[in-house]
Structure 1
Amino acid sequence: MVKSKAVEIEQAILGTIILDNKLNYKLDDLNENMFMNSTCIEIFKIMKELRKENIIIDVATVKSKIDEKSLAIKMSSLTSVITWGQTFGIDGYIKILKENLARRSINQNCQRLLEGINFGENIDTCIYKFENNIRKILDKDTYENDDVHSIAEKVLDFLESKKDVGFKFGISLLDSTIGGLFKGELTTIAAKSGVGKTALALQIMLNSAKQGKKTLFISREMTSEQVFMRNICKITGVSTRNMKSKEISESDWKLIVNAIGDLRENNLIYINDKIDTISAIRKRIRQIKPDLLIVDYVQLLTSQKSMEKREREVATFSRELKSMTLDFDIPIIQLSQLNDEMKDFRPYGDRPMRDSKAIYHDSNNVVYIHQLKGSDYEEAVKDIGESEELVRESEYRGIKIVDLIVAKCRDGQTRHKHFCYYGDRLHFQELNY
């Protein structure tokens, strides 16, 4: 913007308020950094002081303060401010002032980013700092349309719209309790090691693909090839063990080739085993624009800042992922390990989360996978109406009874249900009883 025009806008805002004291509340929407002209800055500071002292803001009171402070502001300068004052357009001018400040701040951050890269700093760290600063700049002015009238309009538009706003987990317990996967929501799936949290996440990912939704799967526990073979196993029933050892029959080959062909044709699944930082996740989201992000698992991410306490580090990861649901307007599933504090007891609340309880508190929904033991196991066998001998025999074949527990749902109740977990198929099947 031409400098003279920018000064005129600053003068117009201040002059309008001086001419109409009823508009002095507009000063609360402004700050000193928005002004570039030194005279306008001094006059603005005086006007803010008068408002704080609950003194009427007009030509006389402003002039009196100028004289009291012995400021080198000529009467002609104050007259010029008043000349540009008008009774309309002030909101538009304030918006321009805010945009100009945002542009200057963004420009400064761009320069810092380039300097950091040129001086050999880690690129991901530079980008991470840049994104955080940009978000802070943009978040400073996020209060437009926050009145109840505007919010009510948005709610009515949502209720009247026929457009789907979410999609299904594809697992009836989760869909009936949580409602589905919705933008802006963080869901945590937590279990002890080897109980099937990755398998459940992959099942949700394949169900999402069937609905035409694109998923980015971040794996810090397995290679992308291993994760992909698990997908093939879930689709075909050919075990990953057989694929790894290449003990594949001709009929299995056909199933595998067909499954790979379908996945390649749809091209809705992205698996990345190299990304390990929050900034790198953000970068990949911007590149492929997924409908769903799955992180396996949160405790294996790498911090870009040195932190003394592990709890604080993991809490930061979880809060950043929650922020991403809002920043990118997508649902996110984070997988988490449970600690050994609960032993074989049914997990509940935030106590079982490994490293940080913030994982539980940041989440909109929390799903625990619980391998049944003791009285829980006996109760489940009775519930499903099978003999314990038959259930034990199934376990030898890799079929276990587990509970999926919706331990937290901000929009609904908490529930649990018995499932069969087919280890060879990496598949959860809800039991009807």
Structure 2
Amino acid sequence: MERHEQIEKSVLGSMLTENYLIVDGAVKQDFFLSHIHKNIFGCMQALLAKGRPVDFVTLLTMMEPAALGGANYLAELTHFANPTKFDRYVDMMCEAWKNRVKNRILIQAKEEDWEIGMIQQAFEELEKEGNAGIETNISMDLMKMGERPYEEVQHTPGVPTGLNDLDKLLDGFQPAELIIIAARPSMGKTDTLNHFALHAGLAGYKPIIFSLEMSRTSMIDRFIAITGGYNRLRMRNPYTHFTEKQKSNWLPTLGRLSEANIHIDDRAGLTVSQMRAAARRIMHTEPKLKPILFIDYLQIIRGDTPSHNRTEVVGQISSELKQIAKEFNCPVVCLSQLNRSVETRDNKRPVMSDLRDSGNIEQDADVIGFLYRDDYYDKETDRPGLLEIQIAKHRNGPTGTATVGYVKETGILHNIDWTRERMA
């Protein structure tokens, strides 16, 4: 009982801290066991319906303090707030509520001598009620499609990658898809992620980056280098190494980068649950902008439960990332390391079996792309400055390779004019 009370306090405290959770959480008043908590949640809903802020002061205007546990009780609820575990706690409350209702059904069935069929029907109705708001029947969807053959298709591409050949393959990053970009170290993974994030932001989307390895300051410097075309070595001391032209272009570069509306969370050792909570909070600051999530990188995401089997943990993480993509209906682009077997082959181009701690990555991902640079392995190559993005898996479209230009000094990826290349 005490544990359940703590869970209810955490859910209410999280709602007080982040008011959008009152609606987002799909919580019902019946989920609460405590009568005081039922009253508090009911007052929260009433305040939100009136467009008023929800805090312990406004709650006290809705009902007698004693019915809400008292002013001190309300004020202390925020101490239990834990938005990261909010979804898990709501699920636990829902399951506990279902079990209470099932027990009442069984008691009533025994007293009234119900048939087995009646008990089963009552349990089925309970499950439907617990999943209220989730539409499963496709009849309405089919009705809306009645005129589809007679209407011109309004094509809506996904989030642009800023690379023409890649957009031809993927049609942009699609909503609800998990995209894995994998490569060996120093191949250009983070620069590729930054390129995608910058172009998504400038196209009007909201890039949310979880940089688990690199600091926020380092990431910002990389974005400035890409946006302004600055050599990253010179950026270590711009006062000494910048030309006057580069210095005069500094403020316009910062202004353009600001337009991309990029968000960076550089906390180390995050779990998927923590990323979900952070992303949801950021999304609610500007709900009109469609989000796209970027994660650097998969193998250093911390599992929710400790385990010595890293393959199982990574498999669970990839599954949870796919769930986030579906839940938020946005693309989730996650970097991944490859194992060392690439280095032992004559042909260094990656294949699926090179995915490190692969687990369910290949199964969960909608798109898997491998990065490869010839000039990383062969300094005398006749293909310097080229980056191959090989789409090895594409659940809803073609596979293939997009070859783009890559300037390592600045981190810039760019399209190649192949006509001009052939003439050179």
TM-score (norm 2): 0.64
CA distance in 1 between counterparts of 2:113 and 2:226 reads 67
Contact preservation (8 Å) 1:209, 1:269: yes
CA gap of 1:242–1:143, structure 2 versus 1, over 3 A, is same
2:188 is equivalent to residue 196 of structure 1: yes
CA gap of 1:377–1:2, structure 2 versus 1, over 3 A, is closer
Q: Any idea what the Cα deviations from partners look like across 1:77-112, whole Å, max 9, x if unmatched?
A: xxxxxxxxxxxxx99x986x5587x4xxxxxxxxxx
Contact preservation (8 Å) 1:32, 1:45: no
Contact preservation (8 Å) 1:242, 1:248: yes
Contact preservation (8 Å) 2:352, 2:392: no
Q: Which residue of 2 aligns with 1:372?
A: 374
CA distance in 1 between counterparts of 2:112 and 2:174 reads 45
Mapping of 1:248-287 within 5 angstroms?
248-264=242-258, 266=259, 268-274=261-267, 276-287=270-281
CA gap of 1:94–1:362, structure 2 versus 1, over 3 A, is closer
Q: Which residue of 1 aligns with 2:40?
A: none
Unpaired stretches in structure 2, ≥5 consecutive residues: 1-27, 31-97, 284-289
CA distance in 2 between counterparts of 1:2 and 1:357 reads 39
CA gap of 1:43–1:167, structure 2 versus 1, over 3 A, is farther
Secondary structure of residue in 1 paired with 2:176: coil
CA gap of 1:309–1:237, structure 2 versus 1, over 3 A, is same
The amino acid across from 1:254 in the alignment is S
Q: Which residue of 1 aligns with 2:328?
A: 328
Mapping of 1:31-430 within 5 angstroms?
33-34=101-102, 36=104, 40-42=108-110, 46-48=114-116, 102=130, 138=131, 144-147=135-138, 149-153=139-143, 162=154, 164=156, 166-246=158-238, 247-264=241-258, 266=259, 268-274=261-267, 276-289=270-283, 291-343=291-343, 345-347=347-349, 349-372=351-374, 391=382, 395=384, 400-430=385-415
1:240 Cα shift? 2.0
Q: Any idea what the Cα deviations from partners look like across 1:395-421, whole Å, max 9, x if unmatched?
A: 5xxxx3332101110112211133332
CA gap of 1:158–1:204, structure 2 versus 1, over 3 A, is farther
CA gap of 1:155–1:232, structure 2 versus 1, over 3 A, is farther
1:373 Cα shift? 7.1
Q: Any idea what the Cα deviations from partners look like across 1:111-132, whole Å, max 9, x if unmatched?
A: xxxxxxxxxxxxxxxxxxxxxx
CA distance in 2 between counterparts of 1:203 and 1:146 reads 41
1:155 Cα shift? 5.8
Identity %: 22
Q: Any idea what the Cα deviations from partners look like across 1:19-70, whole Å, max 9, x if unmatched?
A: xxxxxxxxxxx99945736653337984325899xxxxxxxxxxxxxxxxxx
Q: Any idea what the Cα deviations from partners look like across 1:238-265, whole Å, max 9, x if unmatched?
A: 122211233323321222211112333x
Contact preservation (8 Å) 1:185, 1:330: yes
CA distance in 2 between counterparts of 1:407 and 1:142 reads 37
Secondary structure of residue in 1 paired with 2:393: strand
1:203 Cα shift? 0.8
Q: Which has the larger radius of gyration?
A: 1
CA distance in 1 between counterparts of 2:112 and 2:188 reads 62
1:363 Cα shift? 0.6
Contact preservation (8 Å) 2:310, 2:357: yes
Secondary structure of residue in 2 paired with 1:203: helix
Query: What value does the CA root-mean-square deviation take over the aligned residues?
Result: 3.7
Contact preservation (8 Å) 1:310, 1:355: yes
CA distance in 2 between counterparts of 1:176 and 1:296 reads 25
Contact preservation (8 Å) 2:185, 2:337: yes
Secondary structure of residue in 2 paired with 1:42: helix
Contact preservation (8 Å) 2:297, 2:334: yes
Secondary structure of residue in 1 paired with 2:368: strand
1:212 Cα shift? 0.6
The amino acid across from 1:415 in the alignment is G
The amino acid across from 2:362 in the alignment is Y
Secondary structure of residue in 1 paired with 2:353: coil
Secondary structure of residue in 2 paired with 1:356: coil
Q: Which residue of 2 aligns with 1:75?
A: none
Q: Which residue of 2 aligns with 1:15?
A: none
